[in-house]
Amino acid sequence: MNNLVYSNNLFSGTREELVQILKENLSEKRFQHVLNVEKSAIELAQNNNGDIERASIAGLIHDYAKERTDDTFISTIKQKHMDPDLLNWGNAIWHGIVGAELIHDELGITDDKILTSIVKHTTGDVEMELLDKIVYVADFIEEGRTFPGVLEARKKAFESLDAAVGFETKHTLSYLINTNKRVYPKTILTFNKWVAE
């Protein structure tokens, strides 16, 4: 999809310009990851009659803020009067929820669907629209992923996006529990919606 032309004014420049911004802002490894997520997101969008351009942009920018300092996130939460509970969390939660604010301000991307998919990409949510599911699942199945179960996740993703959302949520929650990590409450709500009977 390297010849994809942006024509809907969701981003002010070309795809190549957006890719260049990411190259400058991310480590080589994460840059490769976002290119892979874009590729998977486009494939999932094609498979589900989704918006290809939004899938490309959201896939590319979903981790835009991932390598920013804690101080950047903390000052953004305070400046924008975001939920103060966010201060109790860290990069894993911030780079999506607070990252969407940085994307809005720094990249000039104002499209609600794209920004919401960034907000929801690590925790999922009870309410998830098609693009939210696409970004959430693409992040999990992109070709650089090697965790046990990734083949099953990829297969599910192209059979049923909803089932893939559930599979991923269960995998993530199990990982957090098994490694004694704190669980962001929304992740539990996502589990209750997409996994629990």
What are the residues binding Fe ion (CB under 5 A)?
63, 139
Which is closer to Fe ion, CB of 63 or CB of 125?
Answer: 63
Query: Measuring CA to CA, which residue among 65, 125, 128 is closest to residue 101?
Result: 65
Is 136 exposed, middle or buried (CB count within 10 Å of its CB: 0-12, 13-18, 19+)?
buried
Nearer to Fe ion, 132 or 139 (CB): 139
Question: Shortest approach of Fe ion to residue 140 CB, angstroms?
Answer: 9
User: To the nearest whole angstrom, how small is the minimum distance from the Cβ of residue 66 to Fe ion?
Assistant: 6
Residue number with CB closer to Fe ion (10 or 118): 118
- Could you tell me the smallest distance in angstroms from the CB atom of residue 32 to Fe ion? 11
Nearer to Fe ion, 108 or 144 (CB): 144
Least separation, in Å, of the C-beta of 132 and Fe ion?
Answer: 13
Structure tokens at 181: 């990590």
State the Rg of the chain over Cα. 16
Residue 112: Cβ-neighbour burial (10 angstroms; 0-12, 13-18, 19+): exposed
Report how far residue 135's alpha carbon sits from residue 50's, in angstroms, rounded to the nearest whole number: 11
Q: CB of 53 within 8 A of CB of 6?
A: yes
On whether the CB atoms of residues 35 and 63 are closer than 8 A, the answer is: no
Of 63 and 101, nearer to Fe ion (C-beta) is 63
Q: Can you give the length of the chain in residues? A: 197
Question: Is 130 in contact with 164 (CB distance < 8 Å)?
Answer: no
58 versus 77: smaller Cβ distance to Fe ion = 58
Place of tokens 């290119």: 35
* Least spacing, CB of residue 65 vs Fe ion, in Å: 9
Q: How far is the C-alpha of 6 from the C-alpha of 16, rounded, in Å?
A: 10
CB of 197 to Fe ion, least distance (A): 29
